[in-house]
Every structure is written in C-alpha cells, then in structure tokens.
Amino acid sequence: MNTAKFFKKNLKRSMTLIVLFFVTNVCAFLLFLTLFGLSQQGEILYDGVGLQDVVDTFDGTGISRDDLTELLQTYDSFAFRIDAGGNIVDQIGLPEELNHQYSIADVAGFSRWYLDDYPVKTEIADDGSITVLGLPEGSAVRYNIIMPLQNVAWYLLLIPILLLGSLFLFLYLQWSDSVKTRKAVEPILNGIDKLAAGRPVNLPETGPLAQVNEELNEASRKARQREDVRTEWISEVSHDIRTPLAVISGCAEAVENEDNARYCRRIQANVMKLRSLVETLNLNNKLTYGLVPAVFKEESAAGLFRDALIDFINENNMELFPMETDIGTEAEETAVSADRNLIERLVSNLMANSIVHNPDGTRIDVSVHSENGEIVLKIRDSGIGMEEEEVEKLYESNPENYESHGQGLRLAAKIVKVHNGSIRFRSEPGEYFETEARIPVIQKQAAD
Amino acid sequence: MTENNKLEKLLIVDDERELSELMKDSLERSGYKNVTAASSAEDAVRIMNGGMPDLILLDVMMPGMDGFELLAKIRETSKVPVIMLTAKGEAEDKYRGFGAGADDYLVKPFLMRELLFRIEAVLRRAYPEKSRIVRLKNARVDLDRAEVLRGEETLTLTAKEYAIFMKLYENSGRIVSTPSLCQTAVGEVWTGYESTLMTHIRHLREKIEADPGKPESLVTVRGLGYKLVIK
C-alpha cells in the first residue's frame, strides 16, 4: 500500500480545512464588528436614542424632555450641559456628586477618559458649551489607543509574519504527525499484507497503536492455528491411507500368478501412484505454509543428485524404461546448499512424472552439469509430452482450482524455489517432456 | 521364492493387524517360519523379554508407545537389526535427530518383495557368518575364504576386491554409487580413485564373469554406479 500518497491526501484536506476555518472566523469577526462594534462609540444610547438626541432635547428641538428623562432613568444614565465657563446649565438625572462646577482640567480629563467612574461621551457645541451623556458605572469600556505611526507600520508587517509563522508551525506539526503515524501504521500495513499471504505476523505490542498490533498478532496466531490443524489433518489422513494401500498392494502381490500378472501389476502401479499423490499433497501443503523447515547443508551437487537418482531407481522398477545418466565430472567438485530430503523428492517427482504418464520403453535422459554458477539438472523423456497450455499451468504454484494433473511437477517447482533456484518445463506433444532445474552453486570446492 | 526354510526369528510390531498378518503370511511363504507379530510396543516388549528376535520390523505410528520410542528402548540394551516401516519424510520431520539407530527404513505402502529384499540385506549385514556362499550366474563366492569357485577352479580375491564385492553383495540387486564403492575401498577420500576402482572391478569381473566384456553379475549402471545380480 502507498502510505505516502495517503498522507499527502490527508495533509491537503487538513490545509483546506484550516484555510476555510480561518476565512470563516475573519468574516464572522468583521460581521460582528459591523453589527455591534466600536464604530458606534456609545453614540447610540438605547432604543435608537443617542448623544445627538440629548443635544437636540437640551436645544429644545429633539424628543420631549419627559421622554428623554424616562429613557435615561430606565437605563440608569444621565445627561448634563456646561457652558464655556464650566457651570452646569442643564441636566437630567445628574448624580449629586457630579453636580458642581467643572474646571478646564476636569473637562480635559473626562472628554478622554471617565468622569469619576462613569463612562461618558461629550459633544462640544459652537458656543463652547459641552453636552455630556453619562452611562452607569461599569456599563461600558472606553479605551483610547495612542501609537507612534512607525509602530503601526511594524504592526502591519507583523500580522502577515505571524500568520505565515502560524501556517508553517501548523504544517510542521502536521508533517511530524504524519511521520509518526506512518511509522506506527506501516508495520501494521505490512502485517496485514503478511496475514493475507499467510505468513506469520509478529508485531511489537507497544506504542500508540499497540492494541491494533495485538489484534493483528492474535489474528495471525489464529490463522496459523487453523493452518496447523489443516496441515496436521492432511498429514494424518495421508498416513492413514498408507496402511490400507499396503494391504491392497500386499494382497495383489500374494495372489499374483502368470494369468493375472497384468492386473496385479496394474494394482501395484496404482497403489504407488496413490502413495505418490498423497505424499505430494502432504509435502506441498507443508511447504506452502512453511511448516517443514528445510535443513540446508553443503552437499556435493553430483553426489546429491546421484544418490537421489539411485534411490529412485532402487525403489522403483525401472527395467522397462531405458535410462541414460550423464553426471559431469565438474559437478563432483561443485557444492550446493540443499536439503537432502527435498532434493530426493524433487528427483523422484520428476522421474515419476516420466514413468507414470508414459508407455513402457520410454527413454529417459538425466544430466547434471555445472554451468555459470548454477547446477543444472535436466530430466527429459521421449514420451507423450504435454500441450503448451498445460505446461504453462505448471508454473502456477497454487492454482485457483485444484489441478490433479501436474501436482508432482508443481511440488518440484516449489522445492527448487526453496533452494533459490529456477525451473523450466519444456515439451513438444508426442515428442518429449523436459524439466530443467537450476540451483545456485555456493562455492567451488578446492580440488584435492 | 526360495524353498529353504529360514531359521531367523523375526518380530513384526504393527498395530494394523491386517497388514501385520499379511506380512507374516508373505514372510512365511518366503521361508521365514519363525515370525511373531506384536500389536503394540508394549506387546513387543513382553515378547522380547521372552527372547530377542534376530530382526524387528517396526511400525512408527502406533497408539501408546510409538515406534521411535520403542527403538530407543531397544537400543539401550540391544543391537538387534530394526527396519522401520514409515514414510521417510514423515519420520524425519517428526523425529529429526531421534530416528538414529534404525538399520533401514521402508516407506509404506511397500512391495512385499521389497520388504523381503530389505530383510535379507539387513540380515546379511548383521549376521555375515550365516551365509557364506554367494551364488552368482557363472561362479560362487566363498565369503569366509574370499575365494571364487568356478567349476574346478578356485580364484582368490584381493582385500580391495573383497571389500568392493562385500559392499555390492550387501546391497545386491541395487545400484551402489561409484563414490560409495571408492569409499569402501579406500576410506573417506575417494576423489581421483575412480580409475583405480575400475581396475578392481575389471579384475573382479575376470574372476566372476564368464565373459568380463559382457558382465551378467556385476553390471555397470552408466553414470551412477554398479549393481551385483545374485542368481
């Protein structure tokens, strides 16, 4: 699985989200400012009435004095006007402690800040009189900003820098998070791959995703158990089949005479075919699930194959199949790393393929040579051969459907693979069938 | 099949009664009149306490004590030849490193004539003094004297010829590889000994064959080795 792609996509999505989030917030903030913001500066008192209305009422032009008084009372506010000399000339609801003459210093104070603790708003008329609208203590905030122009420029510069910085910080966090997640997730993905391929999974049960690892290990253990049960089952069945086969074979042998020899031999041949089939099934199953640990030893290539061939010939009736064996002298001094049992099985499966499917008298040629750092085993019979598409099917190690034909050859291919080698099947129907197995040579033995 | 009664005591240990009866029957018809069958390892121990057989045919998979456990028990006290009846790969999978001590393995199902052959070969190896004269097509070989008897003529075998002949005789009817024959004649190092081996074989043939150019008893299996055919 391509995890990099997955995280790139994830990053893109997060980026889009963060931009959207940012834009939404800015819009909402601006909207809020527009609706309730500072631009009103307390001009509006309440219910659409503001400082201008107070000025108008004192001038005798606006809403009636009673209405204004009622409104100011409702909101615990007050209004007054002083003339240029600082004397109170008019007032509505003015608190007692504020009812005094105001000096220039007082005026300078409250026109910018608070009058005592009351937030106030002032309006200066042309004649020098000042109208003051006072709000209840603690009901509003007045904040005046004074900033050198130079600093404002800095602030304007700082904002994009801060934004960019935040963006980079975000990207970094996102990236480091991805890397961390990837580190944790990758073994899990590999584990799932392994599980699917039927190989054992053993992840460390630590880290933030420990639970997932535990579950995967458990799933692997369970799958393994099922495989073990199945393999054990096949192994037992194949063992149990041997005894009745031995009895059939023995009986056929016991009753054999000149008249029925043909039939008895056929019984024997089929018993051996069944034996081979069961053994192949059993070993194939074990090899597929890695339950037969191959034991590799350094062996003389010639000796290894010679012994395997001799074993096969000694145990099978080969009198009716003329055989030619050519083991190169150079192969005597060539060593391969091999499992003796598996090589015996390889040779016996290839030989059996040639004698089981072909008529008596079919010639079999076997050669073992060392070339280009590989030991090459060729077994070729001049028998009925195989159609090309059948040959192609032999390379599928685990065909979708059970193919009864060629199981032995498929197992041979598997054995060669276990030895890090390669196998080729060639055939011409009616002419020949040939198997060429190549196994890498480990080193040249010193000739002594 | 030979008419001679064979006196060796054989013990078959197999829980499959049908198969062990068949083996017993086959062996008796081949002249082995002294065959006992045990249906379990415990049964076999009881029989062996009454007297050791000359050879044991031992099945691996048995309920209770299995074949390999019994073999280990036998080997504590006795060197009696044992032929294991099993699947080769199977035995080695399960008992790798434990199966040592058996004289031969026979894969089930097997041909009765293969069983007979193995029994004879193992007996020959284990009790060499019991069969002194080997009958070949054109000669007889007296193993005690290392002599070849051809009509009135008596030819003596050299030590090397005798060793090679014995190796072939112990495996008669089967191919013995050239390297293993060389090993028999000279020990571990055999490389480069092949031509010497061929000389020994030629001399052997001159002594035992009617026409050494057309051997009938000591035959060559090209590319693999040699085979001794007993009459």
Per-residue confidence (pLDDT) for residue A402, from 0 to 100:
64
Task: Determine the topology of domain A294-444 in CATH.
Answer: Heat Shock Protein 90 (3.30.565)
Is B133 in CB contact (< 8 Å) with chain A?
no
pLDDT-based confidence at B141, cuts 50/70/90? very high
Exposure string of A130-149, with b = 16+ CB inside 10 Å and e = fewer, is bbbbbbeeeeeeeeeeeeee
Query: Other CB atoms closer than 10 Å to residue B158's CB: what's the count?
Result: 13
Question: What is the share, in percent, of chain B residues with pLDDT greater than 90?
Answer: 47
Range with the poorest average pLDDT among A62-71, A220-229, A395-404, A433-442: A395-404
d(CA A278, CA A187): 38
The verdict on a CB contact (< 8 Å) between B223 and A447 is no
Q: What is the pLDDT of residues A151-210, one digit of tens each?
A: 888 888 888 899 899 888 988 888 888 888 878 788 888 888 888 877 778 888 877 778
Band (A363; pLDDT cuts 50, 70, 90): very high
Phi-psi bin for A218: left (phi > 0), alpha (psi -120 to 50), beta? alpha
A305 pLDDT tier (thresholds 50, 70, 90)? very high
Contact yes or no for A286 and B225 at CB 8 A: no
Give the contacts of B81 (CB within 8 A, at least 6 positions apart).
B54, B55, B56, B103, B122, B123, B125, B126
Does residue A447 register a pLDDT over 60? no
Cβ within 8 Å of A, B 147-206: 174-177, 179, 189, 191
- pLDDT-derived band at B103 (thresholds 50, 70, 90) equals confident
Q: Which of A239, A248, A341 sits opposite B92 (nearest CB)?
A: A341
Other Cβ atoms within 10 Å of A390 Cβ, number: 15
Percent of chain B predicted with pLDDT > 70: 89
The percent helix, strand, coil of chain A (3-state, each to 5) is: 55, 20, 30
Place of tokens 């029957």: B25
Class of domain A222-287: mainly alpha
The residue among A235, A245, A247, A248 with the most chain B CBs within 10 A of its CB, best to mutate, is A247
Residue pairs spanning A and B at CB distance below 8 A: 103
CATH 3.40.50.1000 fits B10-129, yes or no: no
The dotted CATH code for B132-228 is: 1.10.10.10
- What was the pLDDT predicted at A39? 42
> Can you tell me the ipTM of this complex?
0.79
Of A246, A251, A282, the CB nearest to B108: A246
Please name the residues in contact with B147: beta carbons below 8 A apart, sequence gap of 6 or more: B141, B154, B155, B156, B157
Please tell me which of the candidates B19, B26, B224 has its beta carbon nearest to residue A310: B224
For residue A279, which of A386, A355, A181, A352 has the smallest C-alpha distance?
Answer: A352
Q: Please tell me which of the candidates A247, A292, A326 has its beta carbon nearest to residue B22.
A: A247
Q: In chain A, which residues fall in CATH 1.10.287? A: 222-287
Say if CB B41 and CB B62 are below 8 A apart: yes
Q: What's the pLDDT tens digit per position in A271-289?
A: 888 888 888 888 888 787 7
Are A131 and A120 in contact by the 8 Å Cβ rule? The answer is no
Please give the pLDDT value at position B97: 42
Among B14, B19, B115, which would you mutate to test the A interface (most chain A Cβ atoms within 10 Å of its Cβ)? B19
Chain B positions in Cβ-Cβ contact with residue A272 (cut-off 8 Å): 109
Question: Best residue in B93, B174, B197 to probe A by mutation, most A CBs within 10 Å?
Answer: B93
Q: Answer yes or no: is pLDDT of B6 > 70.
A: yes
Please report residues of B whose CB lies closer than 8 A to that of A366: 223
- State how far residue B36 is from chain A, nearest Cα, in angstroms: 18
Ranges for all domains in chain A classified under CATH 3.30.565.10: 294-444
Q: Which two tokens stand for residue B68?
A: 């390999």
Q: Min CA distance, A271 vs chain B (Å)?
A: 8
Q: What is the average pLDDT value for chain A, to the nearest integer? A: 84
Partner residue opposite A292 with nearest CB, options B23, B93, B224: B93
| Domain parsing of chain B, residue ranges | 10-129, 132-228
Inter-chain touch B88–A303, beta carbons under 8 Å: no
The residue type at A84: A
If we measure between CA atoms, which residue out of B111, B55, B109, B62 comes closest to residue B83? B55
Q: Is residue A48's pLDDT more than 50? A: yes
What distance in Å separates residue A245's CA from the closest CA in chain B? 6
A249 phi-psi bin (left φ>0, alpha ψ -120 to 50, beta other): alpha
